[in-house]
Amino acid sequence: MLDQLQRLPADPILGLAAMARADTRAAKVDLTVGIYMDETGVCPVFDAVREAQAMLATDEITKAYLPPAGVDAFNSGMQKLLLGAEHPALLGARVSSVQAPGGCGALRIGAEIIHAATPGATVWVSDPTWPVHLPLLGSVGLQFSNYRYYDPATHGVNFQGMVEDLKSAGAGDVVLLHGCCHNPCGADLSLAQWAVVADMAEAQGFLPFIDIAYQGLGDGLDEDAAGLRLLAERLPELIVAASCSKNMGLYRERTGAAMFVCRDQENAEALVSQALVAARRIYSMPPAHGALIAGKILSDSKLDRTWRVELMEMCARINGLRSDLRTKLEAASGRDFAFIEKEKGMFSFLGLSAEQASRLREDYAVYMLDSSRINVAGVNAGNIDYLAESVAAVL
């Protein structure tokens, strides 16, 4: 039976990253996978995470399953982190959440909830979006439509096009929104634009589904969640998929949360029951380690302060890299790269063609996607000059 199955192509991002790892050239620059790297090219462990792990190792007395919804301190901590402790939706008991295996697991739980409510519902996704959104949501049976988002000519949000396209989204439809630090383009909505989306959702009845995987890596924890908080205050319902991979460095621990903002407490409790049934048939019980760490950090005032300082430093470094990269590219090429400094988070489209990106790989050992999307956090003082000179050489 199994011998009839054929080899499938590698994931385009992970496959390219594997090519980069196999490249032995000394000048290699890998800007493919979206993982934060420090100046030494290492994905670091937060000091707050090390301290929380040490506490857990001392205190842990069992390896029994977690409750099906996950770690209580993690769920309550994530709700406050995403919405703010005094948000009206929290004070009104309209919010519930379950722990999930990473942001991907949270997205899948959200998709299961949508399909249970409206089988085959249409999800509107930005053009472009994170490629894994489509298989994660589509494999449940949801359908897709695109809305315009990124304008390559301006390197910014095509908000007029986005609004025009979303005028066709109505009751029973879902609009998938990146909460901050858009992946892959780094171009984010302003708070005024979030307000327009809220107006449209109120008038047209579509359900926002917010994927927020980079909170704290754009302008700050509160600033990056401002759009989400606005929608949660104004709308009767929305779904949120959140991840601790980036802002706590818990990549391999797969730590995420699916959060539901509902009309009232009764509906919020109903959504949790639906989520737990969906989780039971997908992965049964949630993983413990990452959520215990995150829950410990979010519930311990000292650890929380330590983590917030570390995250602010990481955010400042990314924004500093954007400024430095802009300066280096403009000096090397004589072209305008101001857009890099205006974007948020870890990603940017450099505006190169697929042929130019291929030339960078083949001739200069500089690895980026064919779309010219780069992970800005893969840049450091040791490779930025070579990167700028290499890009200038293929322009």
User: What are 209-245's pLDDT values in tens digits?
Assistant: 999 999 999 999 999 999 999 999 999 999 999 999 9
Does 232 lie in the same domain as 123?
Answer: yes
Whether 115 is in a domain gets the answer yes
Token representation of residue 13:
């991002």
Task: Tell me the pLDDT band of 10, cut-offs 50, 70 and 90.
Answer: confident
Whether 99 is in a domain gets the answer yes
Q: How far is residue 114's CA from residue 100's CA, in Å, rounded to a whole number?
A: 16
Whether 284 is in a domain gets the answer yes
Task: Tell me the sheet residues that pair with 257.
Answer: 99, 242
What value does the mean pLDDT take over residues 301-307? 98
CATH of residue 236 = 3.40.640.10
Average pLDDT, the chain: 96
Does 171 lie in the same domain as 246?
Answer: yes
Does 186 lie in the same domain as 136?
Answer: yes
Whether 348 is in a domain gets the answer yes
Q: In what order do the strands lie in the sheet with 122-127?
A: 95-101, 255-261, 238-243, 207-212, 174-178, 122-127, 143-148
Contact between 255 and 213 under an 8 Å Cβ cutoff? The reply is: no
Whether 374 is in a domain gets the answer yes
Domain closes at, from 270, 299, 328:
299
Q: Kindly report whether the peptide bond that precedes residue 128 is cis, defined as omega within 30 degrees of 0.
A: yes
Helices (H), the chain: 12-22, 47-59, 72-83, 88-91, 102-117, 133-138, 159-166, 191-204, 221-224, 226-234, 265-282, 289-299, 301-333, 338-342, 354-364, 384-394
Triad 126, 128, 130: Cα angle to 5° = 90
Whether 324 is in a domain gets the answer yes
Does 280 lie in the same domain as 369?
Answer: no
Would you give the end-to-end CA distance of the chain in angstroms? 50
Whether 58 is in a domain gets the answer no
Q: How far is residue 11's CA from residue 39's CA, in Å, rounded to a whole number?
A: 27
Query: Could you list the active site residues?
Result: 130, 211, 246
Task: Tell me the pLDDT band of 14, cut-offs 50, 70 and 90.
Answer: confident
Task: Tell me the pLDDT band of 147, cut-offs 50, 70 and 90.
Answer: very high
Does 235 lie in the same domain as 328?
Answer: no
Domain closes at, from 245, 272, 299:
299
Q: pLDDT tens digits for 350-371?
A: 999 999 999 999 999 999 999 9
Does 325 lie in the same domain as 186?
Answer: no
103 pLDDT above the threshold of 90: yes
Domain closes at, from 299, 327, 342:
299
Residue 179: predicted pLDDT = 98
Domain count, the chain: 2
15 pLDDT above the threshold of 90: no
* DSSP 3-state of 343: coil
Does 272 lie in the same domain as 368?
Answer: no
* Cα dihedral 79, 213, 124, 138 sign: negative
* DSSP 3-state of 175: strand
Does 315 lie in the same domain as 287?
Answer: no
Does 320 lie in the same domain as 389?
Answer: yes
Residue 13: predicted pLDDT = 86
Whether 317 is in a domain gets the answer yes
257 pLDDT above the threshold of 90: yes
Does 123 lie in the same domain as 247?
Answer: yes
Does 103 lie in the same domain as 202?
Answer: yes
Percent of the chain residues topping a pLDDT of 90: 96
What value does the mean pLDDT take over residues 159-185? 98
Q: pLDDT tens digits for 178-187?
A: 999 999 999 9
* DSSP 3-state of 290: helix
Q: Which of 343, 370, 117, 328 is nearest to 214 (CA)?
A: 343
> What is the residue range of 256's domain?
65-299
197 pLDDT above the threshold of 90: yes
Does 357 lie in the same domain as 234?
Answer: no
Residue 339: predicted pLDDT = 97
Q: How far is residue 179's CA from residue 78's CA, in Å, rounded to a whole number?
A: 15
Residue 256: predicted pLDDT = 98
CATH of residue 349 = 3.90.1150.10
Q: How far is residue 180's CA from residue 265's CA, in Å, rounded to a whole number?
A: 27
